[in-house]
Amino acid sequence: MPDSTAFFSNDDRKLTRRGFLGVSAAALACGAGAHAASRPNVVVILFDDAGWRDVGYHGSEIQTPNINRVAREGVELNHFYVCPTCSPTRASMLTGRPASRFGILTPIAGRSTHALPSGVLTLASLFRDNGYDTAISGKWHLGLRPEVGPLKYGFAHSYGYLHGQIDPYTHLYKNGDRTWHRNDQLIEEEGHATDLITAEAGRFIRSGRDRSRPFFLYVTYSVPHTPLAEANRWTERYQAIAEESRRLFAASMTHMDDCIGQLLAVLRDEGLEEDTIVFFSSDNGGQQQEAGEGYSGKFRPSPKLGDNRPLRGWKGELYEGGIRVPAAVRWPGHLKPRKEDQALGAWDVLPTLASMTGLTLPGTAVEGVNAWDAIRTGSQVQERVFYWRTPDEMAVRKGRWKLIHHGASLANGTNELFDLVADPYESKDLAADNAPLVRELAEELGRQRSKD
């Protein structure tokens, strides 16, 4: 396959009359255009299936110098929780609520018509309504058809793909469906998805945005999710890795990391570093293996992919390896480098970014907490319950205790109880010796389940 590197062009976009009216209304909604312009920009970067030990700063053999830099220069979120699979994490991060509230328990796949409900508050709609220019470049995965694409949820510019996985070069979904789009209209383009996503994000920052307003940019990479295909310039540095699938996984991470470095350079060159909050995380823990890609034999099975050590479990599971991921936030001049060990989650991103940018949340059912003071100073976050649900399992964490219920309903199944302070790697199930605590947490599970 040809080597494909990221590039940035200067295809300036014109603001239509309709767009101008929308900008004017947004400026009025936030009080004044000048006030909006003084607010920081926000860039949220989401990896796809990167595990705990798939970043260099966690001891990986994978080279991720730019990801390491963001963590080193910002606040490393050492206990950041997401959902165990793709669509649920994206729903939680964009809405500030558990994805199960919307019935999103698994990746939206195939030709499903399931989508994030229309009219729900999202990060993009919150920023749009407060005078921000908003854009997504990359994976959407909260509605597989153009009519439920990102433009319907607060994004003014959308680019990338609607499905959960694609061939990185043809950009087709595994059943052959087209999914690559610009502004929710299907298109055909050449190039590696990692490079195209980066190029569009860089183009938006440099020439595609309204410079009179701050911006919110959501950059959602397709890697290291399978299927994987990488040019020699990325794979050759990992010849010491014997298993081809892990070698491709590592190469895709380093390719993405290089592109993240390009985006950081754009912010620097545009004089935006101190005016821009950069946050990254993975959307779930690493996947152990992939038996078949469903691309008519084009891609080989992947017996070894992610690395979640020393955490237990994998993508799709409610053990820590499936839901605790690398994450960090960087804001030069505003955040001092440090590590935050308090438990935070994807559902906290919306209220936290709202606070960091000086926005007021409307009266809505956001369930995440504002963790800005915790990130800035390490002050204690209010005690709350973390809740996860998949079709076959559910879990809660309250303080140091985590209960996993293996079963689709509380009436059936088994429980495991872990003390995450004494046993962060979940090596010892304490359920049999702590029946009252198990009952208490099971009751909390029932309360949470009733809200879905």
Q: How far apart are CA 359 and CA 277, in angstroms?
A: 14
First to last CA, the chain: 46
Contact 224, 305 (CB under 8 A): yes
> Residue 449 is inside which H or E element, if any?
helix 435-450
Cα–Cα separations (whole angstroms), residue 153 to 2, 26, 143, 160, 197: 36, 15, 11, 15, 19
Query: Within 13 Å of residue 375, how many CA atoms lie on the same side as its CB?
Result: 28
Mapping DSSP to helix (H, G, I), strand (E, B) and coil, where does residue 124 land?
Answer: helix
Q: Which two tokens stand for residue 153?
A: 């949820």
Taking residue 74's Cβ as centre, other Cβ atoms within 10 Å add up to 23
Establish whether 86 is a catalytic residue.
yes
Of residues 30, 58, 83, 141, which has the active-site annotation? Answer: 141
Q: How far apart are CA 191 and CA 35, in angstroms?
A: 39
| DSSP per position, 204-248 | IIIIIS-TTS-EEEEEE--TTSSS----HHHHGGGTT--SHHHHH
Q: How far apart are CA 331 and CA 334, in angstroms?
A: 6
Establish whether 141 is a catalytic residue.
yes
Q: Which of 178, 139, 164, 133 is nearest to 37 (CA)?
A: 133
Q: Which two tokens stand for residue 195?
A: 């490079």
Mapping DSSP to helix (H, G, I), strand (E, B) and coil, where does residue 447 land?
Answer: helix
Q: Which two tokens stand for residue 30?
A: 């936030």
Contact 140, 181 (CB under 8 A): no
Q: How far apart are CA 137 and CA 135, in angstroms?
A: 7
| DSSP per position, 336-365 | --EEEEEEEEGGGHHHHHHHHTTPPPPSS-
Q: Which two tokens stand for residue 36?
A: 């909006």
Show the CA angle centred on residue 425, arms to residues 419 and 430, nearest 5°: 35
CA 280 to chain centre: 7
Of residues 30, 83, 86, 259, which has the active-site annotation? Answer: 86
Pair type for strands 414-419 and 180-182: unpaired
- Rounded to whole angstroms, the maximal C-alpha distance in the chain is 67
Burial class, 274, CB count within 10 angstroms (exposed 0-12 / middle 13-18 / buried 19+): exposed
List Cβ neighbours of 274 (8 Å cut-off, separation of 6 or more): 331, 332, 333, 334
Active centre residues (catalytic) = 86, 141
